[in-house]
Amino acid sequence: MYVRDTLYVPLRSGQSSEHAIIHRGLASGTAVTLLEQVEDSGYSRVRLENDTEGWLPTQYLVSEPIAADRLESVERELLELEEQYQRALLRLQDAEAAATEAANEQAALAANQGALQRELDRITLLAAETIAIEQANQGLMAEQDSLRAEIDALSVINQTLRGDANQIWYVAGAGTVLIGLLFGFYAARRIYQRRSISGWS
């Protein structure tokens, strides 16, 4: 039971206004435990939270909290609901911010993926060009080896020809010397014969 919407209600030792006042005034909304209710006297015996017992007029008791207490309770509930709404709103804002950030990250990842794909295409093209260059280089090296082999063969031929030319010049020189000796011998003999003929004459 609750003391109704009256400013103060005195708690007495008996069932009349003549009995001594145990508590000078119970404020409106004070919670009490109903122990006994006497319809003839219009009084009820109650117990307070501190175990004090006494009588007060039944008309001042109601089975529900007073309007002021109910209003305060509703205001507390409303305040709690407002706080819950604000927390829910903050969570919603956080979720929206997280969703926006996730969308931005997804867009950045998509852009990065595009850049990586272009880089991969460029690297693939460069790799193909590198392979072609390597193949061409191998062909040039083979051609260079072939040219070196030809140069070596020509060097051998050149050395051979130089040896033959030296032999020819050597033979020609020897022949010239021999011809010179023969010519000198012939000339000397002719001169000797002329002298001999002149001497006989």
Q: Are 48 and 32 within 8 A, CB to CB? A: yes
Rounded Cα distance between 192 and 197, Å, is 9
- Report if residue 142 sits inside a domain: no
Residues in the chain: 201
> Tens digit of pLDDT for each residue in 37-91?
999 999 999 999 999 999 999 988 887 766 666 667 777 888 888 889 999 989 9
- Report if residue 39 sits inside a domain: yes
- Report if residue 50 sits inside a domain: yes
**What is the number of structural domains in the chain?**
1
Burial class (CB in 10 A: 0-12, 13-18, 19+), 61: middle
Query: What average pLDDT score do residues 103-116 get?
Result: 88
Question: Which CATH number covers residue 46?
Answer: 2.30.30.40
| Domain that residue 37 falls in | 2-65
- Report if residue 161 sits inside a domain: no
Examine the pLDDT at 6 and tell me if it is beyond 60.
Answer: no
- Listed range (10-14, 19-23, 108-112, 155-159) with the worst mean pLDDT: 155-159
Which has the closest alpha carbon to 29: 79, 81, 73? 73
Helix (H) or strand (E) run with residue 123 in it: helix 67-200
- Report if residue 110 sits inside a domain: no
Give the pLDDT confidence score for residue 166 in this predicted structure.
Answer: 65
* pTM beyond 0.75, yes or no: no
- Report if residue 179 sits inside a domain: no
